[in-house]
Amino acid sequence: MEADFWHERWRGNRIGFHRDTPLPLLTRHWPDLGLAAGSRVLVPLCGKSLDMVWLAEQGHRVLGIELSELAVASFFEERGLEPRIRSSGLGRHYSAGPWELVVGDAFAVTPDSLADCAGIYDRAALIALPPPMRATYAGTLWRRLPPGCRGLLVTLEYPQAEKAGPPFSVEEAEVHARLDRDWSVALLERRDILAGEPSFLAEGVTALSTAAYRLERRDGTCAPP
């Protein structure tokens, strides 16, 4: 979706994608990645997700990328923190404690800016994008992460013809098609969640599952800026 779409969602507080608790798939599967305390973890299209609070509680430093400055400012305000703010070629950096959130374009991050990221957590980025933008996202941000980086990817799967995204359906075959070139991809869990998603039921969606994948970046050359 274009940037204006997301800015309008945040301005209108139409953020049904925001959860008031950490995602259970994150708390269940993240520890198995084995990232050391102090590791830097990238969270693309991070919004003001409480998943970033949970990651920090595990001892990680969190680097978030988000289009909406309102979302980023709200994250720190809700923590009672006064962030330091600076600008770079990537955007405006808000930093306090273990969090650095950049107001900028996730497609424009550079390999240098991601060089110390040991992990990536994607719950709301890949499924937020229509197919052409998913291809760009996989070919830019994901390819610019360093070898050895480990990640957890969470997707949704449903009959796409039954609902207009976002969030979009991303099937397992597409995950492999987008990422197998550079990443080892393993499905960890798939579960039926339709009964707990009234908005999908209201739109007539007949099947809805969520899937979690473990990923590890293979050795090789990162994509250029």
> CATH code at 47?
3.40.50.150
In this predicted structure, what is the pLDDT of residue 221? 62
pLDDT at 18: 46
Instruction: Domain of residue 70: give its range.
Output: 1-8+38-104
The pTM for the full model equals: 0.92
Query: DSSP secondary-structure letter at 22?
Result: -
Q: Are residues 135 and 223 in the same domain?
A: yes
Residue at a domain's end among 51, 73, 104: 104
Token pair listed for 214: 């473990």
Helix (H) or strand (E) holding 177: helix 172-179
Same domain for 137 and 97: no
Q: Give the pLDDT of residue 36.
A: 96
99 lies in the same domain as 143: no
User: Is 142 part of any known ligand binding site?
Assistant: no
100 and 4, same domain (yes or no): yes
| 94 and 155 housed in the same domain | no
Mean pLDDT by 10 residues, the chain (225 residues): 56 54 94 96 95 97 95 94 96 98 95 97 94 95 97 98 94 98 97 94 96 93 61
**How far apart (Å, rounded) are the C-alpha atoms in residues 147 and 161?**
37
Same domain, 100 and 168: no
- How many domains is the chain built from? 2
Other Cβ atoms within 10 Å of 106 Cβ, number: 21
Residue 25 known to bind ligand: no
Q: Where are the alpha helices (H) located in 47-171, listed in sequence order?
A: 51-57, 69-79, 111-114, 131-139
Query: Do both 225 and 127 map to the same domain?
Result: yes
Same domain, 88 and 137: no
pLDDT confidence of residue 1: 47
Instruction: For residue 114, say whether it is annotated as part of any ligand binding site.
Output: no
Which of 104, 131, 156 lies at the terminal end of a domain, its last residue?
Answer: 104
The reply, when asked if residue 10 is annotated as ligand binding, is: yes
| pLDDT value, residue 155 | 97
- Count Cβ atoms below 10 Å from residue 21 Cβ, excluding itself: 9
Specify whether the CB–CB gap between 39 and 31 falls below 8 A: no
